[in-house]
Amino acid sequence: MDPISLNRMGSDHKDYTKQRVQVKNPYLATMEEDILYHLSLSTKTHNLPEMFGDVKFVCVGGSSNRMKDFAQFIHQELELPGNPEEVTDICEATDRYCMYKVGPVLSISHGMGVPSISIMLHELIKLLHHAQCCGVVLFRLGTSGGLGLAPGTVVVTDKAVDSSFLPQFEQMVLGKVITRSTELDQGVANELLQCSSELQHIPTVIANTMCTDDFYEGQGRLDGALCSFSHEDKLEYLRKAYEAGVRNIEMESSVFAAMCSVCGLKGAVVCVALLNRFEGDQITASHDVLAEYQQRPQVLVSHFIKKRLGHVA
C-alpha cells in the first residue's frame, strides 16, 4: 500500500474512533424501554453503557460453540486476567444466541442464514447504540465453499453479491422491495490482508462473496434432497460466478454488509473456504483439518485486534 493510502487510512481510523454507533430508526428515541428480546437484554433492566460502553470490536459467527471458543481464544490472546474457561454467556436466558464479552471484544453467535443473522444484527446495533459505543468494528467469522481456491484459503469479502452477482441486498418491506448496497470497508479489508502477510500458513485473498438463501440448490449443489439442474448447468453457473469475481459462497454476508453500510459501521466478512466447489459438493477433509481451517479467520481477526490495541509491535 502506498504512503498516501496509509496516511488516509490512519486519518479515517482516527476520526472513526470518535463516532458513536448510530441507528436509522427515529421511533427508538420515543420508546420508554427497548427490549432486546432475542439477546435477553433491556434498556430499563440493564445498564447498557456500563456493561458494554467499552466495546470496540464485535465478532459474530454462526455456531454457538465456535463463538464461545473464540471468546476463550481472544481472552488468552489479549492476556486478560481470569480463567478463559469461565467466560459467561450474557444471553444464557435465551436459547437463540450466545454472547460473550472479553475486554473490548464481543463474541456473538448468529445462527444460519440471512433471517437469523438479521434479527441478531438489529438487536446488536441497537445494543451498541444504547451503550454509547464509539468506533466499533464488526467482523463476521465463518466457513464457506470456495471457487477456484485451495481449501483453507481465507476470503476477506470485497463486495457481497447476490445470486445474480450484483452487489446488493434485496428485502421485502411493506410489500415493496428495498435494495441496499453491500460494499464493505476497504480500509479494514486491506488491514486484514496486511495482517495475513504477518502470519504463517493463513493464505488470504480479498474477493467477492456470493450470499445465497439456501445451502443446496441455491448454491448449485448436486447432493440435496432436490436437484433441478444438471452437472453441466452447475459448472456453467459457478464459472459465471468466478468470472464475476466471486471466490466463495455463504449465506449471511449480504445482510451483514448492508446493515453495516446503512448504519455507518466498519465491517468485514472473513470466511475460510472448506473446499473448492469446482471439484465437488461435499466436505471430505478430516475433522482435525477442518478444525484447523475454522481457526484461521479467528487467528487473523485476533491479530488485527491485537495490532489495533497495540499488543503487536
* CATH number of the domain that residue 121 is part of: 3.40.50.1580
Q: What is the pLDDT of residues 165-215, one digit of tens each?
A: 999 999 999 999 999 999 999 999 999 999 999 998 999 999 999 999 999
Q: Is residue 173 within 8 Å of residue 301, measured between CB atoms?
A: no
When divided into structural domains, the chain yields a total of 2
**Residue 301 belongs to what domain range?**
142-307
Residues 126 and 165 reside in one and the same domain: no
* Domain final residue, candidates 99, 117, 135: 135
Cβ within 8 Å of residue 79, ≥6 positions away: 311
User: Do residue 118 and residue 172 come from a single domain?
Assistant: no
Whether residue 224 sits in one domain with residue 198: yes
User: By the 8 A CB rule, do 278 and 147 touch?
Assistant: yes
16-30, 39-53, 143-157: least confidently modelled range: 16-30
Q: Is the pLDDT of residue 266 over 60?
A: yes
What is the per-residue pLDDT across 50-71, written as a single tens digit (0 to 9) for each?
A: 999 999 999 999 999 999 999 9
Please, is 213 exposed, middle or buried when counting C-beta atoms within 10 Å of its C-beta (0-12, 13-18, 19+)? middle
Structural domain ending residue among the three candidates 90, 110, 135 = 135
Q: Are residues 162 and 295 in the same domain?
A: yes
Q: Are residues 112 and 252 in the same domain?
A: no
Query: Which pLDDT tens digit goes with each residue over 246-258?
Result: 999 999 999 999 9
For residues 246 and 118, membership in a common domain is answered with no
The conformational region for residue 132 under phi > 0 = left, psi -120 to 50 = alpha, else beta, is left
Could you tell me if 62 and 100 lie in one domain?
A: yes
